[in-house]
Every structure is written in structure tokens, then in C-alpha cells.
């Protein structure tokens, strides 16, 4: 039984190595790198961290993710003199890999734009930037580091101490972004989260008010002329395709109708003694008690 199990694992190891080698030959030296877009006329570069953060070995095995090795390699390929910006939409990943990426961001003084979410260790990468911009609807999520461990009680207790050390190291980066505007104790509470929660989520407004982000670009409503032009264009497309526009869209863009003015009440006639006198009622049906007060 043991021999069969060993043979099976050896076979899987060789098969996995064959697939890994084939992938490396297809796209050599690109594993773990974020996408980099160069705008030559403007001498501007965008580094897009749109993936989970993993060790280089995992990126090579899985064929996805961004590593510290790949991130540094991508920065090195940006032409000298180009202004670079880091755009983030990441759920986070490995703590030490993320801290290494954060060190490169701090050294290069890369401005950060959050396009989706900067969660977990990706929020540490953003905090290492001297300037953070959050796009409409984006969020930030931070929490205490996680770990998986197996072993005896001594090993488990030791791992808890490692997690505490990692948290203190993360707090150095977070607190370095805000200073005393958001004290270290407040960062610790944010990592802990409320009862039953894992950490804390911030909207763009909250991140700016606490000093994590510098700018929150809120969505600006269209002016009436642009909204009308857009609606006319959509009506044209709807007429050509035969697909009607949603009624809600038509109602939102219609000019508001003012309510009809209320009728002017008739003056109240009072008798000389000051008692209120109503005009005679007119019966409108044969049902007793059905009357209409004339206007």
C-alpha cells in the first residue's frame, strides 16, 4: 500500500512539473508580474495590481497572482523618466510578500489609485504610498493576519506570537501613513473589528476622514443637457433595435410635473352673532347622509 501511494505521488509530481515547464516556456519570466501599461506620449506608466498577492513559487505553480519578485521586475522595466502610478484591485494574500511590495512602493514613492478594493495585505501596500486616491464606490478592508499551523501545543502557542509580531509590523506601515491623526491604538481596534467581525471595512469617505486616503473621487451627476443628450441617444438605439427603454429610465429623465394648485376656499359667512354659517348642502344620492358641500 505504501509503495503504491509513493508511486502515485511521484507520478503526480512529474506530471505537475511537466505542466509547469510547459507554461514557463509559453510565457517565460512573466509569472508574478502585474500588468504594466506605458503611455509613451505622456511618459506615464500604470502598474495594475489586479490580482491576489502570492509568493513567487505559487505564482509559477498556479500561473496567476502577483509576487514581490514579479512586482520588482515590473518596476525595473519601466523606462527611466516615466511617471508611474499603482492601481489596486486586490483581495490581499501573503503578508510578507505584501510587505515587500509595500517597501518598493514606499521607496519609489508611487501614488496609488484604488479601483476596486484594497483588502487585507493589499491595504498595507496602499498605506505605504504617499498619496492614495479612491475611485467612486471603492473600499478598503483591513484585519489581523491569519495563519495555518499544525503541530503540538507548543508550536500552536508559538504561532500566535508570530501573528502578534506580524500585526505590529503591519501597524508600523498603517500608522506611518496617518501619524497621530489616527493613533496607533485606533489602528489596533480597526484590525480587531467589532464583535463577530473580521477587521473593518471603510468606504472612500471614511478612509479620507481617517487619513488613510487623500482623495475620494465621488461620482458627479450629469447636467440636464448631457442627461437629455444621453437619453435621446438611447432612444435612437432602442428604436433601431426594437428594445424599449426601461420605464424607470423614462420616469427619471422626465421633467417633474408640479401638482395642481388647491382650490381657493370660499369665504366663511358669519352671522352678526359670530356663529359660523355653512352654505346649504345639496343631496347627491338617495342614501341618507350623502351630501356634497358646494365649492
Q: For 31-216, CATH number?
A: 3.90.226.10
pLDDT of 82 reads 94
pLDDT of 14 reads 75
Distance CA 167, CA 191 (A): 9
User: Does pTM surpass 0.75?
Assistant: no
Mean pLDDT of 19-39: 74
* pLDDT of 105 over the 60 cut: yes
Q: Give the lowest-confidence range in 54-58, 162-166, 197-201, 248-252.
A: 248-252
Distance CA 93, CA 99 (A): 11
54 in Cβ contact with 62 (< 8 Å)? yes
pLDDT tier for residue 237 given thresholds of 50, 70 and 90:
confident
pLDDT digits (tens, 9 = 90+) for 239-264: 777 777 676 665 555 555 566 666 66
Q: Give the lowest-confidence range in 98-112, 172-186, 277-291.
A: 277-291
> What is the residue-averaged pLDDT of the chain?
82
Mean pLDDT of 82-107: 97
Mean pLDDT of 254-280: 55
* pLDDT of 140 over the 90 cut: yes
Domain extent listing, the chain: 31-216, 224-250+267-292
Three-state SS sequence of the chain: CHHHHHHHHHHHHHHHHHHHHHHHHHCCCCCECCEEEEECCCCEEEEEECCCECCHHHHHHHCCCECHHHHHHHHHCCCCCCEEEEEEEECCECHHHHHHHHHHHHHHCCCEEEEEEEECHHHHHHHCCCCEEECCCCEEEECCCCCCCCCCHHHHHHHHHHHHHHHHHHHHHHHHHHHHHCCHHHHHHHHHECCCCCEEEEEHHHHHHHCCCCEECCCCCCCHHHHHHHHHHHHHHHHHHCCCCCHHHHHHHCCCCCCCCCCCCCCCEECCCCCEECCCCEECCCCCCCEECCC
258 in Cβ contact with 249 (< 8 Å)? no
Q: What percent of the chain has pLDDT over 90?
A: 58
pLDDT tier for residue 218 given thresholds of 50, 70 and 90:
confident
pLDDT tier for residue 277 given thresholds of 50, 70 and 90:
very low
Other CB atoms within 10 Å distance of the CB of residue 105 = 26
Distance CA 101, CA 107 (A): 10
Q: What percent of the chain has pLDDT over 70?
A: 73
CA 118 vs. chain centroid, Å, equals: 7
Amino acid at each position: 500500500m505504501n509503495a503504491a501511494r509513493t508511486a502515485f505521488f511521484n507520478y503526480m509530481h512529474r506530471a505537475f512539473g511537466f505542466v509547469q515547464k510547459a507554461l514557463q516556456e509559453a510565457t517565460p519570466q512573466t509569472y508574478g508580474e502585474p500588468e504594466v501599461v506605458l503611455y509613451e506620449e505622456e511618459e506615464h506608466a500604470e502598474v495594475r495590481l489586479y490580482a491576489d498577492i502570492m509568493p513567487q513559487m505559487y505564482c509559477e505553480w498556479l500561473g496567476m497572482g502577483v509576487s514581490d519578485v514579479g512586482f520588482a521586475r515590473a518596476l525595473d522595466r519601466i523606462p527611466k523618466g516615466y511617471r508611474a502610478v499603482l492601481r489596486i484591485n486586490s483581495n490581499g494574500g501573503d503578508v510578507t510578500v505584501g510587505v515587500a511590495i509595500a517597501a518598493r512602493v514606499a521607496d519609489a514613492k508611487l501614488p496609488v489609485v484604488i479601483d476596486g478594493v484594497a483588502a487585507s495585505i493589499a491595504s498595507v501596500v496602499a498605506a505605504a504610498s504617499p498619496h492614495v486616491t479612491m475611485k467612486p464606490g471603492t473600499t478598503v478592508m483591513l484585519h489581523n493576519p491569519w495563519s495555518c499551523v499544525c503541530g503540538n501545543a507548543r508550536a500552536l502557542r508559538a504561532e500566535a506570537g508570530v501573528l502578534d509580531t506580524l500585526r505590529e509590523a503591519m501597524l508600523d506601515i498603517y500608522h506611518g501613513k496617518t501619524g497621530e491623526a489616527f493613533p496607533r491604538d485606533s489602528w489596533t481596534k480597526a484590525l480587531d473589528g467589532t464583535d463577530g467581525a473580521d477587521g473593518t471595512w471603510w468606504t472612500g469617505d471614511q478612509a479620507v476622514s481617517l487619513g488613510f486616503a487623500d482623495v475620494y473621487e465621488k461620482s458627479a451627476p450629469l447636467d440636464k443637457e448631457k442627461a437629455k443628450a444621453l437619453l435621446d441617444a438611447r432612444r435612437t438605439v432602442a428604436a433601431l433595435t426594437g428594445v424599449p427603454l426601461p420605464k424607470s429610465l423614462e420616469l427619471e429623465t422626465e421633467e417633474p410635473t408640479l401638482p395642481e394648485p388647491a382650490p381657493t376656499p370660499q369665504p366663511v359667512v358669519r352671522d352678526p352673532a359670530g356663529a359660523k354659517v355653512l352654505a346649504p348642502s345639496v343631496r347627491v344620492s338617495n342614501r341618507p347622509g350623502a351630501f356634497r358641500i358646494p365649492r
